[in-house]
Structure 1
Amino acid sequence: MFRFISSFYSKLMLAVVVCFILAGGLLLGLAHQSSQQYQNEIEQKLHLQLAEHLVYESQLFKDGELDPKAIKQAFHSMMILGPSFEFYILDTAGKVVTYSADPSKIKRRQLDLKPIRDFIDGSRAMPIIGDDPRSPSRSKIFSVAEIREGNSLKGYLYIIIGGEIYDSVAELLQSSHIMKLSMLGLLFILGFSLLVVFLIFGLLTKPLRRLAKDIDQFQHVGLEQTANIAEHWQNNSHDEVQKLGAAFSDMATTIKGQYQKVKDTDQLRRELISYVSHDLRTPLASLQGYLETWQLKHRDLSPEEGEQLIKVALSSARKTSSLVEQLFELAHLDSDQATINEESVAIAELAQDVIQKLELAAQKKQVVMSVEPQDPSLVACADIQRIERVFTNLLENSIRHCSEGDEIKVTIDQAEQGNKLAITVSDTGTGIPADDLPHIFDAHYRAANRAKDKSSHGGLGLAIAKRIVQLHRSSISVESTLGEGTRFCFTLDKPM
C-alpha cells in the first residue's frame, strides 16, 4: 500500500482528489453564500417600501404617544402580508418599544441604528443586514421607515423580512428529498469529473511510467540483458517526456555499446597475449636454438655450416619482427586513434606497383599476376599507404594459396553506386572451405587449407586489410569455391 502511494502517479492523483475536495467545498460554500446574498438582495428590493407604505397607511402615534388601538390594527393588517414578516416599533434610540412576536422569544431590546440609517439614506448597496431581535447575534435583511408626527421623529417601523417561520420552512426544504437528490447529483458530477481526470492523467503519465520502468530495468537487469528500449521513444516528438525517454535510450545504447566495446577489447587483449605467446614462441625458440648451436660449435663448424645457422637464425628474427609489426599495426587500427589521410590515388598504378614488388615471390611459384584495366584515369579517394597495405596483404594471401600455373588478377570496375570504384582481387588457387569463410577475417584464424601453406605467417593480413577498408567507409567481402579459387571485393570512393 505504501509503495502504491509513493509512486508519482498516486501522489498526483491524491493531490488532484484533495484539490477537488477543497475546490468543491469552496465552490459549494461560495455558491451557497452567493445564492443567499442574491436572494437577500432580491427580497429586500422587492420589499424596499413595505415599511414606508405601512407607516403611511397607519397613524401609530396620537398626541405624542403610541396609539395601542392603531398599533393593534396595524399589526393585524401587517399579518395579512404573511407569516414570514416580523414587525417592530423602535424609538429614536433604536430601543424596541413594541412588536408582533411572542415576548418570550425576544432576545435583544436594543438595535444598532447604523444599518437603519444606511437603509433610509440609500448610502449602501443592498442587501443591508440589520439586527434580529429574536437572536443576540443573528442579522437579517429588513425594511424600515421613519414614524413621524408632524415634523417630529417619533421612532421607526422595523420589519424583518424572512422571520422565524421563514427560517423553519427553509430548514425543512434543506432536509427535503429534492435537496438530497441535488447533493447526490453534485457528488456524482464530482466523482465523474475525478474519474475523467484520472483517465487523462493516466494517459499523460503513461510515458513517464514507461520511462521509470525502463530505467529500473536498466539499473537492475544489467547491461548484457537489457532489452531494446529505443522503440518506445521518438526523438523528434515535441513531448518533453518523449524527448527525455529518447535521450535515455540513446544514453543506454551508448553505454551498452561502450560496455560491449570494453568487453571486446578485454577479450582481444587476452587473445592477443595468447596469440603473441604462441606465435612468437616458435621463431624465438628457433632463433635461440640456432644461435646457441652456433655459439657452442662455431669453432668446429665449416664456414658454410656456420653461415647456414646464421641464415636460419636471421630468418627467424625477421619472422618475429614481421609478426610484432603486424600485431602493433592491428592494435593501432583497432583503436579509436586510427585515422587515414585521404588523397587522389590512381588505383590501377598502385596495384601494378604492388604486383611488381611481389613479382619475385610469384615467379618462384610460377604464378601470373595482372591488373585490368591498366587505366591511370581510374582514381579513388584513399590513403595510399593503407590501400597499398590492403593490396599487399590480399596478393600475398593469394600467392600463398596458389600453385604452378595459377593466375592472380586485380580488376577495377565502376561500382553500382556512381561515386565508387569496385576493386576485386581474384585467384585460381586452392580456394577456401565454406565453413571457414565467415572466420577468415578474424585475427590469427587459419583456414583448413593452411596445411598446403608451408610459409610462416601470423594470420593477421586479412584482419588488417578488413580494418583498413572499414576506415575507408567500406567493407570487404569474400567468395570462394574449394579447388577453384577465391575472390575478395571492396569499394573505394571517387574524389568529389
Structure 2
Amino acid sequence: MIKTLHGRLTAIVVALFALSSVLALLLTSSTTRAYAEEERQRLNASLAADLASYLKQEKLIPVTNANMEEGMEEIKRLMTVNPSIDVYLLDGKGRIVSSSTALDDLDREAVALEPIDRYLQPSPRLPLKGDDPRGGDPQVFSASRFRGGIVYVVLGRTEGTLVDALAGSYALRAAAAMFGGVALFSIFSGGYIFWALTLRMRKLVAKVDGLSTELAGTGTGEAPHGCDEIDGLDHAFDSMAMRLRSLVEALQQADTERRDLVANVTHDLRTPIAGLRGYLETLLMRGEALDPAERKDHLETATRQIDRLSGLIDGLLELARLDSARLELHPEPFVAAELAQDVLQEFRLRAKEKGVELRLKTDDGDTMIEADIGLIQRALANLVENALRHTPSGGWIEMAATREPGVVRLSVGDSGKGIAPEDLEQVFERGVRIEDAKGGGAGLGLAIVRRIVELHGAEIRVQSEVGVGSRFCLFFPVRA
C-alpha cells in the first residue's frame, strides 16, 4: 500500500492517464473506423447504380426464372474484381432474389428497406448501415433501385477488437505510442512535482514532531499504518495538542499545589515566628526580673523555634532544588543494605532518648543498586525521621533492604499511629499534613522523598493501618 501523499497523487495520475489513454484509443479507433466506413460508402456511392445499369444492359434484370442462374454467374464473375463485396438483388419488399453467395449460406431472407430508403435520399448523412444477409452487425452498403427491385451491395465488413485494429493500423499504433510516451512523461514529471510540493508538508510534520519531543521528551509516536503526510500531520498535531493539554493541566495542578503549599508554609512559618517573638519580647521587657533558669528556658524555647524555622526553609530549598531542571544526578553503584545501616546509625541516639527500638532487616541477596547515594540517603533519613516523630515510646522502627525479582526493595516501617485509608492517596502531596498521623510539620518530608524516587525512575508505595503502623517501600530496578 502506498503510504506517502506524493506517491498516492502519482498513482492517481497514473490511473487517470491510463484510463484516459484507453478511452482515447477507443475513441480514436471508433472514429477512424467510422471515417473509413464513411469514405468507403462515399467512394462506392455509384457502385450499385453502375451494377444495375450493367445488369440491365445484359438483360439480367429484372430477374426471371430464365435469367436467374445466368445473372448469379455474372455477379460472381464481377466479384472477382472486388471480392470484399457481396452483391444482392432484392425485390420491391426487400426479399433476396439473387445473390453472389449461395442462398443456402445466408442467415437472412430479406433486408430492411428503411436504411435503403434513407440512403437513396438526396445528400444522405453517411455512414449508413444496413442489414448483412450473411449475419452479424449492420454494414455500410451501396444501393440502387431498378424497375421491380433493388441492387444491394455490402461494401466489405468491419470487424475485430481494438487489438486487431492496432495490429492493422499504423496510425493507431502511432497514436498509442504517443499516448504512452505522454503518459510516462506525465507520470515521472508529476511524481517529482508532487514530491516537491509535499516536501514542505513533510518538513512541517518534522517540526511538529520536534516540538512535541521538546514538550514531552518523546516524539509523537509512530503514525498509524498506511498514513500519508496529511494523516501524519494530523497524528502529530493531535499528539502535540494532547501533550499541551496535559502540560496545561499539570501547570494548573502545580499552581494549585503551590498556592496550597504557600498557605500551609505561611501558617507554619508564622507559628514559630510568633513564639520566637513572644519569648524574645519577654526577655527584653522582663529580662532582669527573670531568674537564670527562666531566662535559659526562654532562650532554649526560642532556639527550638529557630531550628523549626530553619527546617522549614531547608525543606523548601531542597524541594525547589529537586524540581529544578538544572539538577544533575550523580549515580554510582552501592550496596543498599550498607546505606540502610548507616542511616539508622544516625538516629540511634535520638531513638534511644525517645525509647524507640531501631531494627535492620537484610537478606543474603545482592542489594546493589545504581543511584545518587546522597539523595537516597536523604530520602531514607526523611522516612526514618517521619517515623520517629510519630512512633510513641516503647515502639519500634524497622528498615529493610531486600532483593526481590527484578528490584531491590528499601522499606521503613513503624509501630506508630498509622494513616487512615482516605488519607493515603494524598500523603505524598506537598504541604498536606495528616494531623492524626503526623502531628506537626509542613508536610514537605514525604514530598521530597517522592520527588527523589521519581528522579531515579523508581517506585514508592505506602501501606498503613490505623493503630498498627505504617510502612513506606521504595523499589529500585536491579543494576544491570
Structure 2 portions without partners, runs of 5+ = 1-16, 56-117, 131-136, 138-219
Asked if 1 retains the 8 angstrom alpha-carbon contact of 2:354 and 2:393, the reply is yes
TM-superposed CA distance for 1:304, in Å, is: 2.8
- Residue 334 and residue 77 in structure 1: after superposition, are their counterparts in 2 closer, same or farther (change >3 A)? same
| Conserved? CA contact 2:273–2:305, under 8 Å | yes
CA–CA distance in 1 between the matches of 2:52 and 2:222? 79
Partner of 1:487: 471
Query: 2-side partners of 1:396 and 1:361: how far apart?
Result: 10
1:477 matched residue in structure 2: 461
Q: Does 1:468 align with 2:452?
A: yes
Change (3 A) 1:173 1:374: closer
Conserved? CA contact 2:387–2:416, under 8 Å: yes
CA distance in 1, matches of 2:36, 2:54: 22
Deviates more, 1:473-482 or 1:270-279: 270-279
SS in 1 for 2:333: strand
Aligned-partner Cα distance in 2 for 1:313–1:168: 127
Equivalent positions of 1:88-99 (< 5 A) are none
Whole-angstrom CA distance in 2 between matches of 1:166 and 1:304 = 145
Out of 344, 348, 361, the residue aligned to residue 359 of structure 1 is 348
Superposed displacement of residue 450, structure 1: 4.0
Amino acid at match of 1:446: R
1:405-424 paired onto structure 2 within 5 Å: 405-417=394-406, 420-424=407-411
Structure 1 residues 108-119: aligned runs within 5 Å: none
Instruction: Give the partner amino acid of 1:441.
Output: F
- Residue identity (%): 31
| Among 433, 439, 457, the residue aligned to 2:441 | 457
The answer to which structure, 1 or 2, has the higher relative contact order (CA under 8 A, 6+ apart) is 2
What is the DSSP-based 3-state SS (H/G/I as helix, E as strand, rest coil) of the residue aligned with 1:492? Answer: strand
1:9-408 alignment runs, 5 A limit: 33-40=31-38, 43=41, 77=50, 80=53, 165=121, 168=124, 170=126, 235-240=223-228, 241-373=230-362, 378-408=367-397
CA contact (8 A) 1:349 1:374 kept: no
TM-score using structure 1 length: 0.55
Name the structure 1 match of 2:431. Answer: 444
| Deviation (angstroms), 1:295 | 2.0
Per-residue CA deviation, residues 342-400 of structure 1 (Å, 9 max, x unaligned), is: 11122122111211211122112211112122879632111111111111111111112
**1:170-222 deviation line (CA, Å, top 9, x unaligned):** 49889xxx9xxxxxxxxxxxxxxxxxxxxxxxxxxxxxxxxxxxxxxxxxxxx
RMSD, aligned α-carbons? 4.1
| TM-score normalised by the chain length of structure 2 | 0.57
- Which ranges of structure 1 fall in alignment gaps of 5 or more residues? 1-18, 55-74, 83-161, 179-230
Match of 1:71 in 2: none
User: 1:339, 1:471 within 8 Å by CA — same for their partners in 2?
Assistant: no
> How far apart are the structure 2 equivalents of 1:392 and 1:423?
12
Decide whether the 8 Å contact of 2:257 with 2:430 is kept in 1. no
Matched-pair contact (CA < 8 Å) for 1:413–1:423: yes
What's 1:433 paired with? 420
Q: State how far apart, in whole Å, the 1-side matches of 2:49 and 2:25 are.
A: 43
- Are residues 274 and 79 of structure 1, via their aligned partners in 2, closer, same or farther at CA, if it must alter by over 3 Å? farther
2:422 is paired with a residue whose SS is coil
Per-residue CA distance 1:199-257 (angstroms, 9 max, x = gap): xxxxxxxxxxxxxxxxxxxxxxxxxxxxxxxx9x9625242143223212221122112
Distance apart, 1:305 and its partner CA:
2.3
Q: What code does the residue aligned with 2:304 have? A: S
Contact 2:382 2:449 in 1 (8 A): yes
1:168 alignment partner, SS class: coil
Contact 2:459–2:476, Cα closer than 8 Å, also in 1:
no
> Secondary structure of 1:442's match?
coil
Check 1:80–1:407 CA distance in 2 against 1; reply closer, same or farther (3 A cut): farther
Residue identity matched to 1:37: Y
Q: Is the 8 A contact 2:41 2:127 kept in 1?
A: no
C-alpha separation in 2, matches of 1:239 and 1:377: 49
Give the partner amino acid of 2:124. S
- Matched residue of 2:459: which SS? coil
Cα-to-partner distance string for 1:27-86 (whole Å, 9 max, x where unaligned): 997566434333246557x85xx99xx9xxxxxxxxxxxxxxxxxxxx97477599xxxx
Matching residue's letter, 1:424:
S
C-alpha separation in 1, matches of 2:54 and 2:265:
119
Partner of residue 91, structure 1: none
Judged with a 3 Å threshold, the aligned counterparts in structure 2 of structure 1 residues 42 and 328 are, in CA distance, closer, same or farther, namely farther
